[in-house]
Structure 1
Amino acid sequence: MSSESTDKQVEAQAKAKASIFDGWNAPPNLVTYSRIVLVVIFLVLDIMAGAWGADDLTLRWIAAVLFIIAASTDKIDGWMARTYNQVTEMGKLMDPIADKLLTGGALVVAAAFNEFGNLVWGWIVVALFLIREIGITVMRFFVMERPGGKVIAAAWPGKLKTVFQCVGLSMLLLPFWSLAAGQTTPMWITVYYVLTYAIIYVALVLCLYSGGVYLYNTFAAPKQAER
């Protein structure tokens, strides 16, 4: 291989690695960064509110609203990126990271406050979520660093998982139990929380399934295509 072709190859690899920062300050990415800031504020308020909001019910309501806002803006930055042709590698990387910080933080606090009904089972659920989420995020970095590697955007099972996860956690965070304070628990509240946990468990199944799909698309599918 000539020195000229080697230099071109090195230059191409350098450009590929630098491309992650292209468009870092695009408006959709700024929305993503603002979501990360909201995550920090949400977690502080959620922790201050205490388990189920027992220490400060007002802070729990505010934390729940902030969570819903942060989760909803996920669609805004994605829509902006597609509509105005501002899809960037940075956006494809940071968007799922923002989702994971939001939902992962909410899950850890809920487990610490024993809001899953059983402390041990709650931490098992959270551990399964986090192992998949952190593992896939770390893999994204490794895939990105490979020669010719690109950030792999979330597939539909992962996006569906995020929807169920955000809906379930939003329902868990909203302290509707307080509406029946001092009364016999109404049937609708019981049904509400049963539905809440069911949605979270569906999200867990989708979480594990989408992780398997990502692993397949990253490693198995390319090898089969080469045959």
Structure 2
Amino acid sequence: MIKKALHAVAWRTERVIDHIRGQRDTRRIIEPYIGYATPDHLVVRGRVLTSLRRNKPKPDQSRWTNFKQMFALFLTDEVAGAEVRAGGVSAISGEEGYFTLLLPRDERTGWTDVEVTIAGECTTAVCPVMIASNDADFGIISDIDDTMLQTGAYSLLRNLWTSLTGNTATRRIFPDAVTFMSALSAAGRNPVYYVSSSPWNLHHFLITIFDKAGLVRGPKFLRDLGLSETQFITGTHGDHKA
């Protein structure tokens, strides 16, 4: 009963805020996510927003500053109903701004960049897509939290403290994880995919940390923490790992 009441209040509040934002903001941009390939398609992913929240933290900045910058990553201004196009294919962004484009796959393997546009606008973004090699011996699917990234996921309080008071300059990848994943990947022949209960709001944050540590690049499967009309938190724990 309490959860339903909280959901109802949160849902109505978000709708009011979205309405106000819709009247105030006219800009639309695309936040690209790393895509992947199936036997038939290139899966191009991203999100339509009115702005991107980026910062360049310093290693010695205070935890309070880190907290404010991390909190800002969750204050997204989503754009629903935007028509997104790439390679002659189009899709409509969903309630939380997310979109997925399924492009026909050709014989290419490796990494490719797909230019995505918003219909009727000059807005463009490049969405990277990983296409597994036909010579791959196997694929690797790895969790992120406390497997690649030091998080403290075993404790909710520890996890929250680490996640909300750190930044891309202070968060640490396990050194052995970099070596191990590089060996498994065999110079990119074997594809690597990452899963986490972290929200999509942290996609760019995680990429920055991974790249800085030299961790093998790969698509990430994260979690949508947005509200829907029927759910308090969109997507249950583990749905993104299915």
Q: Which structure has the bigger radius of gyration?
A: 1
Query: Larger strand proportion, structure 1 or 2?
Result: 2
**Structure with greater contact order relative to length (CA < 8 Å, sep ≥ 6):** 1
TM-score band (shorter)?
A: under 0.3
TM-score by length of 2: 0.23
